Amino acid sequence: MRTGGLWLALCWIGGACGQQAAAQDVVVGKMGSVEVRISEMQRLIDAQPPEVRQQITSGLNELDRLVRSELVRQSLLMEAKAKGWDKKPEVVFLIERAKEQALLQVYMSDVARPPAGYPSEDEVKKAYEANRSAFAVPAQYNLAQIFLAVPENTEKQAAAAAQKKAADLAAKARVKGADFTQLAKENSEHKDTAPKGGDLGWLPETQILPEIRVAVEKMEKGDVSAPIRTPTGWHIVKLVDKKPPSTRPLSEVHDAIVAQMRLRRAQEIERSYKEAMISRSQPTVNQLELSKLQTSK
């Protein structure tokens, strides 16, 4: 999105179109006495790496957030300057270092940028096949429960009463045609799920308590478990539905693979570039003089 398109988008955010269109440098954001103009935002966007630039200009919400962030940044900067922080020697030094670091970052980003066609579709497919385990999706279970809270230090008589109640509820829930949802609403002591009929939603097997996972792995859709004891109490679990383990398709992870491969290649290029520079001119260090900077013990 170039200046014209960006102006049309940000003009909506700032609410300033009409006659100001001719100037093409309207105010798109204001915070107190701080104003941000379209030209500033365009320069800021143009300075970003291509991937970041594409994300920023993908919609009005992203552009809106960028304008608001810039308003806060400039307001804080103005406050710091008003208090003379930009004149302090240690701050002046840090500012110069930051300028140099920004230059190096932009320079190395250009030096280490992988070729435009990297990776090829064939390389992406090979990377996907070589790392299929990384895209594995564990089995998932859609569960509902009736929960009775019985901490491990519960007095014996109360614990026995809770165990009996759990057995009675499980028996009722396992009767053909039983309304598990209503039983959960009336009896479950889990405050978050009881009002929803005990609905726990879809859970990957890795997030299910081991005691419950062992039970549900043997259950079929629609089954209700016997009471299951965990450190916090008794659970009567209904298996609403289940999904077997699977692997995310290439189409779903394609862009993430490309981004990761380009990042790794850029890191490799940067490392090789620096190693070549060092090999051409080996650095030396005067450790005798350097030792004077050591903190005395």
Residue 297 has pLDDT above 80, yes or no: no
How confident is the model at residue 285, as a pLDDT?
95
CB of 183 closer than 8 Å to CB of 169? yes
Q: Average pLDDT, stretch 150-178?
A: 95
Statement: residue 192 has pLDDT above 50: yes
User: What are the pLDDT digits (tens) for 273-289?
Assistant: 999 999 999 999 999 99
Report the pLDDT value the prediction gives residue 152, as an integer from 0 to 100: 85
Position 14 pLDDT exceeds 80:
no
What pLDDT score does 2 carry? 41
Please check whether residue 119 is in contact with residue 262, taking contact to mean a CB–CB distance below 8 angstroms: yes
269 or 15, greater pLDDT: 269
What does the pLDDT average to over 127-143? 96
CB neighbours of residue 213 within 10 Å:
16
The predicted structure's pLDDT at residue 15: 45
pLDDT of residue 19: 45
Measured torsion, CA atoms of residues 126, 129, 130, 133, in degrees rounded to the nearest 10: 150
Q: Hey, where are the domains in the chain?
A: 3-84, 88-136+252-279, 139-244
Residue 137's CB is within 10 A of a number of other CB atoms, namely 12
How large is the average pLDDT for residues 83-92?
96
Range 174-198 average pLDDT: 97
Percent of the chain with pLDDT over 90: 86
Please give the model's pTM, rounded to 2 decimal places.
Answer: 0.64
| 139-244 is classed CATH 3.10.50.40 | yes
Residue 47: pLDDT band (50, 70, 90) is confident
Are 13 and 60 spatial neighbours (Cβ–Cβ below 8 Å)?
yes
Span 231-236, average pLDDT: 97
Work out the mean pLDDT of the chain and round it to a whole number.
Answer: 91
- Work out the pLDDT band at 216, boundaries 50, 70, 90: very high
Closest of 142, 199, 146, 141 to residue 174, by C-alpha? 146
Whether 256 has a pLDDT exceeding 80, the answer reads yes
| pLDDT surpassing 50 at residue 176 | yes
What does the alpha-carbon distance between residue 134 and residue 196 come to, in Å, rounded to a whole number?
A: 34
d(CA 174, CA 166): 12
